[in-house]
Structure 1
Amino acid sequence: MTAQQTNTPAELDSDALHLLVGPNVDYYLSRWKAERKISFNWGAFLFIFFWMGYRKIYGGVAGILAVYLLIDVLAAIMRFDADPIEYCLTIAFGILLGFRGTSLYRWVVLRKLRHLETRTAPDELLEAADRRRASWTGVVIVWVMMLVYTGLFHQIGRL
């Protein structure tokens, strides 16, 4: 375990962290403080993109969609059906996020918290954390990202 993965109890109990996580803070804190490192997150498993969007893990969504787009481009160039590959990848991503999503979210939240602490005045920290909390706005952003991907997918299919 590296120094970056360890947390002081103050980090997990800070008001800013509670605001960043939002209404499910008790669920996540109980998982993050547990001795066992792996737990299963059904929301992350079943709703990969929307779970990541709600938790504002946009880089993960963009990365997965980029992989799908790359496969679609290769399928159009090489004339093969990409659907079976993408179905298998979706299942694999779901299983991976089911088992590791909670720890990924912990890493993202602590990274955001450290970023806020270094770039925000102490009296503005709670307000800044509240603006960056998990929200349904992230789901809408992911939905738009998926619409853009779908549009690109259909354009690639016409090649």
Structure 2
Amino acid sequence: MCESLEESVSFRVATHQDLQAIVQMLADDNLGLKREDPSTPLSHSYHTAFEAIDADPNNELVVAIIGHHIVGVLQITFIPYLTYQGGWRALIEGVRVSKEIRSSGIGRAMFEWAINRAKERGCVLVQLTTDKLRPDALRFYEDFGFVASHEGMKLKL
């Protein structure tokens, strides 16, 4: 019997050597193309950001791997709060699955992993934002059980 893509995926913390592949995935859609620059060599700003994420024990940049290929990425940030009786929450951002295998179950596997990771860290809540121009992503998150309970706002600087 053939193993499904979802069953063959594994997860690990990203390394500096993964950075080019990660940025290429982040840029591989209409919105990402407007924000990211995957040209080689990568801008120094990506390296600086990676180093800051990697050095912070409350940040994990995680890649999904099939064989030796990076097929997905997400960043999970663990945030202490006074609300929820001093509970921690996990913020999931920068989620991408390689264009060639979207809708194959990899995204579901990534979120199952991330939610379990949040539980391991003692989080009481998992939160995320998604661009309103990504209706498929919104449906995915809702199907997963996320609820649009708050109105998110951002201020570009």
TM-score of the superposition, structure 2-length normalised? 0.24
- Determine which structure has greater relative contact order: mean sequence separation of CA pairs < 8 Å that are 6+ residues apart, divided by chain length: 1
TM-score of the superposition, structure 1-length normalised? 0.24
Larger radius of gyration: 1
**Structure with greater proportional helix content:** 1
**Structure with greater proportional strand content:** 2
